[in-house]
Amino acid sequence: MASVSPAERDIEEGIAPWDGRRVPMTLIGGYLGSGKTTILNDLLRKTERPIAVLVNDIGEINIDVRLLKRRSSDTMELTDGCVCCSMKEGLGAALAELRARPQPPDHVIIELSGVADPTQVLPWSNSDGFRLDGVIVLADATGVTQQLNDERLRPLLERQITPADLVVISKSELVTSDEREAARQAVLRISPDMPVVDDLDGTVASTLLDLGTRRARDATAIPPPTLLDPHQTELYQLPRPTTSAALMELIEALPGDVVRAKGIAEGPDDSRLLIQVVGRRRRVMPLPRAEDQDPTDLVVIRL
Ligand SMILES: Nc1nc2c(ncn2[C@@H]2O[C@H](COP(=O)(O)OP(=O)(O)OP(=O)(O)O)[C@@H](O)[C@H]2O)c(=O)[nH]1
Ligand SMILES: [Mg+2]
Ligand SMILES: [Zn+2]
């Protein structure tokens, strides 16, 4: 490579990245446990495109990033804080790191934390090198109606749903068609013109990129972040090694105010067991063994 004099290098650095090209960015939001990582994985499984992924998990441990099937140098984690408030600088730094790469990714997807207000992140989606492609917000068919009736959660969920370009009713197959329709109506009461789809036929993930949102967004109209997060996050130590049965017993005994818990435990013969708790749904599943998959504590979020 030809050597570059400092003067020339300075000029290079002054140019927007990638010859002024703007990489489309998709934000995936929605309440805790609504299915953001699941749909993201689905999407990554269905495309070969080089996609940069940023995953924000509010606990001290980023479980989600360990669950992404396609982990690579293009996966970045934003841990121990919410990207819309306490982790804003972390997001800025991650995007700066992307910008510094010689080759742009095809697309950037950010999984927001389950308590994030997507509006707060919009300014980054139109920063140098990026343009907003769309805001997808998941609404959990098994929980959204009840969550919207909970005074502690309603303001947060309204803030999450309002800026969406598309709302996906997740976990549709777990409810009756009446419940699904109730979830859809609950979303429409907040945003009457919102496009709302469900994930019943398994094709929704492939429609999430290239939404090409045309919605006008006034960056000056972004309200200051308010502390909408009514939750407390704790870490519970897990026994090592342990068994599915013991873990089931442990999570069944979690206090009733636990809305979300997740962790990776050490099972028999150095296997891994994934714990997933969303409200009353509590599951322990064997996890295909990946490299560097160290067991974690259990991240527990209480309301
Ligand atoms: N049956 C069913 N389960 C789902 C679906 N989507 C997600 N889940 C389950 O719901 C739990 C939470 O899913 P995640 O994808 O981790 O949810 P999340 O929104 O990323 O959660 P946080 O990042 O912690 O806010 C997991 O046990 C998933 O397997 C779905 O469409 N159907
Ligand atoms: Mg997630
Ligand atoms: Zn936040």
Digit-coded pLDDT (tens) for 82-133:
888 888 889 999 999 999 999 999 999 999 999 999 999 998 998 899 999 9
pLDDT band at residue 20 under the 50/70/90 scheme = confident
- C-beta 115 within 6 A of ligand 1: no
Question: How far apart, in whole angstroms, are the C-alpha atoms of residue 119 and residue 225?
Answer: 9
Number of helices followed by number of strands (H, E) in the chain: 9, 12
Domain boundary among 221, 251, 284: 221
pLDDT at 268: 92
- C-beta 37 within 6 A of ligand 1: yes
User: Is 41 inside any structural domain?
Assistant: yes
Which range has the worst mean pLDDT, 48-52, 68-72, 116-120, 197-201? Answer: 68-72
Shared domain check, 111 and 238: no
Which range has the worst mean pLDDT, 58-67, 147-156, 274-283? Answer: 58-67
Q: Which two tokens stand for residue 114?
A: 């389950």
pLDDT band at residue 298 under the 50/70/90 scheme = very high
Shared domain check, 174 and 27: yes
pLDDT at 285: 95
- C-beta 134 within 6 A of ligand 1: no
Number of domains composing the chain = 2
Q: Is the dihedral of CA 57, 62, 67, 68 positive or negative?
A: positive
| Residue 216 confidence (pLDDT) above 70 | no
- C-beta 42 within 6 A of ligand 1: no
Question: How far apart, in whole angstroms, are the C-alpha atoms of residue 8 and residue 14?
Answer: 10
Domain boundary among 183, 199, 221: 221
Mean pLDDT, the chain, integer: 88
Output the CA 40–ligand 1 centroid distance in Å: 10
pLDDT band at residue 71 under the 50/70/90 scheme = low
- CA-nearest residue, atom 7 of ligand 1: 35
Which one of the ligands is nearest to 53 CA? 2
Point out the ligand 1 atom lying closest to the alpha carbon of residue 172: 31
Pairing state of beta strands 51-57 and 298-302?
Answer: unpaired
- The whole domain housing 241 covers 232-302
pLDDT in tens, 221-269: 677 766 678 999 999 999 999 999 999 999 999 999 999 999 999 999 9
Shared domain check, 31 and 179: yes
pLDDT band at residue 61 under the 50/70/90 scheme = confident
- C-beta 129 within 6 A of ligand 1: no
Domain boundary among 168, 193, 221: 221
- Residue 115, CA distances (Å) to 77, 232, 301 in order: 16, 11, 11
Pairing state of beta strands 258-266 and 272-278?
Answer: antiparallel
| Residue 215 confidence (pLDDT) above 90 | no
Shared domain check, 189 and 50: yes
Pocket test for ligand 1, best of 27, 28, 37, 39 (most atoms within 8 A of CB): 37
Which one of the ligands is nearest to 33 CA? 1
* Three-state DSSP state, 266: strand
Question: How far apart, in whole angstroms, are the C-alpha atoms of residue 155 and residue 190?
Answer: 11
User: Is 104 inside any structural domain?
Assistant: yes
Question: 123: burial class by Cβ within 10 Å (0-12, 13-18, 19+)?
Answer: middle
Output the CA 123–ligand 3 centroid distance in Å: 14
Shared domain check, 248 and 216: no
| Residue 218 confidence (pLDDT) above 70 | no
Q: Which amino acid is residue 102, in one-letter code?
A: P
- C-beta 170 within 6 A of ligand 1: yes
